[in-house]
Amino acid sequence: MLQSGISLQGVMAVPSVLVVAGTHGNEVNAPWLLDRWNQDPELLNSSELTVNPVIGNPAARQASCRYIDRDLNRSFRADLLALDGDAPRPLEVVRAQELIAAYGPKGRVPCQVAIDLHSTTAAMGNCLVVYGRRPVDLALASLVQGSLGLPVYLHEADSAQTGFLVESWPCGLVIEVGPVPQGVLDLRIIRQTRLALETCLASLAAAGQAEPRYPRSLVVHRHLGSVDLPRDQDDQPRAVLHDDVLGSDWRPLRSGQPMFDGCSSDPWPASPQSAFDGGIPVFVNEAAYVEKKIAFSVTQREVWPVLGDWIAALAELMRG
């Protein structure tokens, strides 16, 4: 019996999958899982796909921080990837170039799919992040959501946040698990990461088979925008998130509900009506977004039919 992923006279060339952990150096659970998996292949079911596990940012992992020079997961931008060695490049730009040279679709070990494993301090549970509307990504997310019911955060149309790793591969998404503080190992986070990763791999394997079992629809939470804390003239937060917002990821905001609390005896004035009324918050109090001045992002829940085009695109990709 042939091992999947081994190409034999062009008959069979199931694409390899790149699995990245530690794209942010202080998100430690997925790297721990990949390290243990390297030592014990039984730890994680890869559905007989050829999987290349890699640590995204080893230097930041070593330093126990998110990044050294700049966020690696905002460094896969065409303008940055085009920088050559004539001028000093941020460490993470060099690393992005290395990862593409090694594992990109035309790399030394070509991979067609990238699964990027993250954790968050927000109470997001186990979820998927999809960037834009590539049919292959939506097909993969549909299969995983059909299996596990995970919510999907569709990130798009945000000019302040670009250059995500998975966008440099033909197909890819992020598995995001929380809440967990940066820097600590947590069994629940590890287990949820493993479950989502195994399901992604099983879904990819199934997508190239005769009859993958797709759900009829995909529920996405589409990114609308982000909300910052109110700030004073020194750019410091004058108020913090209200109790009702803290930990409320995936729960719709009520119109006019208090969003902030100044901690004084006077209640913080209600936010004015905005385009976010009725929106659904995600990444509430994510520690890494403090520097980006994002207290939470706001999404809109939408139900999309799973299209035949998505299914066909992922089938074609996975048949090699």
Name the residues that contact a copy of itself, by CB under 8 A: 32-33, 35-36, 40, 42-43, 64-65, 121, 179-188, 190-191, 194, 229, 236-238, 240-243, 246, 261-265, 285-288, 290-291
Q: Shortest CA distance to 94 belongs to which of 106, 108, 80, 104?
A: 80
CB nearer a copy of itself, residue 140 or residue 180: 180
Q: Shortest CA distance to 72 belongs to which of 109, 114, 124, 110?
A: 114
Q: How far is the CB of 314 from a copy of itself (least distance, A)?
A: 30
CB nearer a copy of itself, residue 224 or residue 240: 240
Q: How far is the CB of 87 from a copy of itself (least distance, A)?
A: 26
Cα atoms in the 13 Å half-sphere on the side-chain side of 76: 18
Q: How far is the CB of 199 from a copy of itself (least distance, A)?
A: 17
CB nearer a copy of itself, residue 29 or residue 142: 29
**C-alpha distances out from residue 270 to 265, 277, 298, Å:** 15, 12, 17
Rounded CA-CA distance 25/29 in Å is 10
Q: How far is the CB of 300 from a copy of itself (least distance, A)?
A: 25
Rounded CA-CA distance 305/110 in Å is 32
CB nearer a copy of itself, residue 16 or residue 119: 119
| φ, ψ at 172 (rounded to 5°) | 175, 155
CB nearer a copy of itself, residue 188 or residue 213: 188
CB nearer a copy of itself, residue 220 or residue 259: 259
Rounded CA-CA distance 183/291 in Å is 18
Q: How far is the CB of 287 from a copy of itself (least distance, A)?
A: 4
Rounded CA-CA distance 91/148 in Å is 37
| φ, ψ at 222 (rounded to 5°) | -85, 130
Tokens coding 187: 């069994």
Rounded CA-CA distance 60/283 in Å is 22
Q: How far is the CB of 74 from a copy of itself (least distance, A)?
A: 17
Rounded CA-CA distance 299/225 in Å is 7
Q: How far is the CB of 294 from a copy of itself (least distance, A)?
A: 11
Q: How far is the CB of 32 from a copy of itself (least distance, A)?
A: 7
Element (H, E) at 18: strand 16-21
Q: How far is the CB of 290 from a copy of itself (least distance, A)?
A: 6
CB neighbour list of residue 129: distance below 8 Å, 6 or more residues apart: 118, 152, 153, 155, 173, 174, 175, 176
CB nearer a copy of itself, residue 122 or residue 306: 122
CB nearer a copy of itself, residue 112 or residue 193: 193
CB nearer a copy of itself, residue 109 or residue 185: 185
Residue type for position 13: A
